[in-house]
Amino acid sequence: MDLKSLIDTRRRGEPDLALMALIFVLAGIGIALNYSASAVYAQKTFGDSFYFLKRQLLWFVTGLVALFVFQEIDYKIYKKYTKAFLFISIALLGLVLVPGIGHSVKGSVRWFSIGPLSVQPSEMVKLMMVIYLVKVFSSENSRNHVIQLLIPMMVVAAVFMLILMQPDFGTAMDLLIVSVLILFMSGFPFLYIAGLFILSIPMFYLLIYQVGYRKDRILAFQNPWSDRFGKGYHVIQSFIAFKKGGLLGVGLGFGSQKISRLPEPHTDFIFAVIAEEMGLVGTICMIGLFLALFWRSVVVSISAPDDFGRLLALGLGLLIVVQAFINIGVVIGSLPATGLPLPFISYGGSSLLVNMISGGILLNISRYREAANQGVKINEEVWQ
């Protein structure tokens, strides 16, 4: 059997079953918690306690199909069409800002309305940006580091500003953090990364302290009780949920904070619902699941057969886990309010779909781990 046929055979290996199990467990927990967190609000608002659950189930089925489809697509194909995918996603991001096209909720224009469903293009843009940055920084390139850094950072800045115009500061910051981490993990000289950080300080000062509502959020984050019925209300109610939950929680479905006190219990603050109903043990288990998911992405990365696959696996793991820990940080009062959902758990079709697609791509990369390991043996045989 020749070398090419060996490689083709190995490419038909099984995906990482532990990673697949973690994705299914997180999505399953999300469905259960969505119903628990939203049932009372859905009944009061829409006269149907299953209103949000039915929509989340629809998105879950769609995401499940997407996961299995993307699991079968060779991840290397994204290198070929990266620019096209990125252009389309950025165009949609700009289109959502056009009056009459984008759907506005609470002053933010982030969605397209498709019948009863809403689609948030910024979620897909984050995935496309990860693939684009991985392609740029995983390739062997002899160009000057300044030139190699300049173009992708200009693209990141353009996407950052488009998301900021919606406005969605949380998603914009999430994108920026993941982009910098990909840059760091690619082995790019730290001196350039540090210089980039120093140059960005004045911009963040203007974006945060010169914009009224963002400055208020920072001040409320530092002392929520200074405006306990205004900017600090969300996090104070979250603290109360943690206190009521104690060690083991009051039981799934029996929480009281979600009924009338905790704002956005099925989206941004669903982790507080977990704390009240499943207690400290439940929150630790949830954090453990996200850490396990990232660990499996690291395992997939280590075993990937090329630099693109290795960096893409890490980038996709970070895309999910960084957002998760930003959300958790907000809920426990360690970060200012951002409006980011908890991946796989919070209600939101676009977020769930993109996370399932990311999981599918990770699973596809994991199918090549045997090829990477066997490649060493093949090389040894060739040299012998």
Q: What is the mean pLDDT of each run of 10 residues along the chain (384 residues)?
A: 41 82 95 92 89 92 96 91 86 82 68 72 90 84 64 87 84 89 84 78 70 66 75 86 93 88 87 95 96 96 91 95 94 83 91 95 87 45 35
What is the pLDDT at residue 29?
A: 95
In sequence order, the β-bridge partners of residue 109 are 104
CB atoms closer than 10 angstroms to residue 275: 28
Helix, strand or coil for residue 271?
helix
What is the pLDDT at residue 26?
A: 96
Helix, strand or coil for residue 104?
strand
What is the pLDDT at residue 349?
A: 85
Give the count of domains, the chain: 1
What is the pLDDT at residue 240?
A: 93
CA dist 363 and 28 (Å) reads 18
| Structural domain span for residue 180 | 3-383
328-359 in b/e form (b: 16+ CB < 10 A) is bebbbbebbbbbbbbbbbbbbbbbbbbbbbbb
| 99 preceded by a cis bond (ω within 30 of 0) | no
| Predicted structure pTM score | 0.88
What is the pLDDT at residue 11?
A: 53
CA dist 217 and 212 (Å) reads 9
